Structure 1
Amino acid sequence: MPIKTRQGLLLAALWAALLPLAHGATPVPAEPASAAAIPERGVSEWLMRMHEASGKRAYIGTFVVSYGPGSMSSARIWHVCDGAQQMERVESLTGAPRSTFRHNDQVITFLPETKVAVAEKRESLGLFPNLLEAGDFSIPAFYAAKRVGSDRVAGFDADVVVLKPKDRLRYGYRIWSEKNTGLVVKLQTLDVDGQVLEQAAFSELQLDAPVKMDKLGQMMANTTGYKVETAAMVKTTALSEGWVLKHGVPGFKPMSCFRRSVGGPIENTVQWVFSDGLASVSLFAEPYEPQRHVQEGAMAVGATQSLTRRVGAWWLTAVGEAPQTTLKAFVQGLTRAK
């Protein structure tokens, strides 16, 4: 089953890792008493500044994420923008070789070991992608933002901002935002008690780098020697598929509902996506198959939680960067339409 997650939150195409984290909050260096006062921004102002910065700068960097002892991977990024046009190349440096290219919402992933290239369209990209529709959310009602100091990351001075949830249905974030541009250079996802679940950061970063959009475009288009498979998202509605959410989860609103196919027939799995503007949760519903759907239960990989449960003739899976309590509320509220 395809599972859509937002690990790290920094860039949609990245799955990387840093050194093992100590469990608990990372201390932020105190600022000298003489530091100039910085105007306090609200949560929406901080988030929009960070979101916009990710789409306005050309940069090259090494990106890493960690979510527990021994869990480590890394990726090299080339990012360039020209007006409304954005292009990006991501090369995995650990694990199976993988190259991902993105031009706006068009994405192609090259898998050298199998000589397969998967082409798809992704609607949600970048840092906090649902902020593009921020008018539909009430983020300040569920999160508060506070600047807690400054630090240096990858050689850049950064503001350190904490996004603290106002309930226990969502995680918090500690974010290092480059002072001049607002670009996020480091981010920690915090559990409901403020402990670090996952960290994502640039270990090396070059801003305003000489990245050429046409060169990346040529590399993206060169599929010679690869079998190209097209992943299609067929839009639908939960109601037309026979599902309703009887009890909603505060702050989370439906974003999309679709079926997915990769080089073949449309799958039986329906994916219903919800977001509160920062966190997202996907509900997957498919016919129950005893030989495949063996055990119900919960699982966690860093900040990404999952929950599976059988409901009559159906197998439900909830996945998202949210506490298990939130996933349980979604699964318990999902029911067949009458």
Structure 2
Amino acid sequence: MNSIYVGPTSDKPSFSWVAKDVFDIVEEEFNIVYFKAFNEIPTSYDGLVFIIKEMPPLSFFIKNWRSKKIYVPVDFFKSETHLKNTLTTLSLFDRIAVHNDLLKHYLNANKVSNVDHYVKYLVDRKNIQPKYMWIGVVDYIPELLLNLDRYPVLWQFPHVFLTDLAHLKHSLNSVLAKMASTQQQYEVKVSEDKIFIGKFCFQQWTESSQKAALESAEFAVDFKSEHFYHSTKPPTKVQVYLANDVPVFVNDTHYAIDYLGKLNIDCLTMSDFSYPLSPKALRRHSSTVRELWSVEAIAKQYIKVAKLTLTQKRKSLSSYAFTVSSLMFKKLKKLVQSGWNKSQ
């Protein structure tokens, strides 16, 4: 059985969601070896390495030139400029597995494969109440507030907004600065377990608080901007809502519209919103998407990507060496320039 190295491992829940849960099933086809640091991979190893999120240092490409490499850039690229500045390094990978089609516009399409997130958080709906929910990281809160300002119809409903409160407390000034263009004035109140921004209450995300919201919220919202970082993220929250039969409404530029359209699943936008919720909004998708996005189905996607990469023709050693050399020169030039600037 062929071995595959997977890492770098992380204690963050996202690593289990994106990698470990999936590769524990891939292990039925390959011997999986997890690594925490890149130097744990033997330099003599000539098999396959799955690299999750973290970009390896240049030394890894120099020492581990024998191995085939697949990069899974989950949430890594913060901007279009960031991605373009990384293109030379990306060319050293044998394949790139993306969770969002829009990234293909910037990459060599012949070396790109699609993989999905599996739906991890599944509940049984019960005690449904006339309230709505939103779950997201702090980066998305300004877009949430902008859309709440745009759609005041939502103000009449109680809400459950779950995020990382510690991060929000540290980022309040940044969040409010991004809201400066609106006419709304947001009074902020901070307590130990809640943060109010205007009339909207944010609480701590935990698996249990999310479970309770998924069980009882009548519907959900998810808003993303057209900025690069938002538009190139996978629609994971929308997937979770659909898998739990929580009707979800998005803004008109949300990536989920295109993503779900290719699966022949209607994605509801705020233009579709009416209350009581329409039969279209209440259409159930869980039986279809739970199978489509099961961890077993996603593991098959990764197995397919692995087998494709193992059989594909490699970049020539001379071309690989030239690319590494150019990156070494670029790095040396930057160090020299930095030292020169400090000496002046």
Report the TM-score range of the alignment, normalised by the length of the smaller protein: under 0.3
Q: TM-score, normalised by structure 2?
A: 0.25
Structure having the higher strand fraction is 1
Q: TM-score, structure 1 length as denominator?
A: 0.25
Name the structure with the higher helix share.
2
User: Bigger radius of gyration, 1 or 2?
Assistant: 2
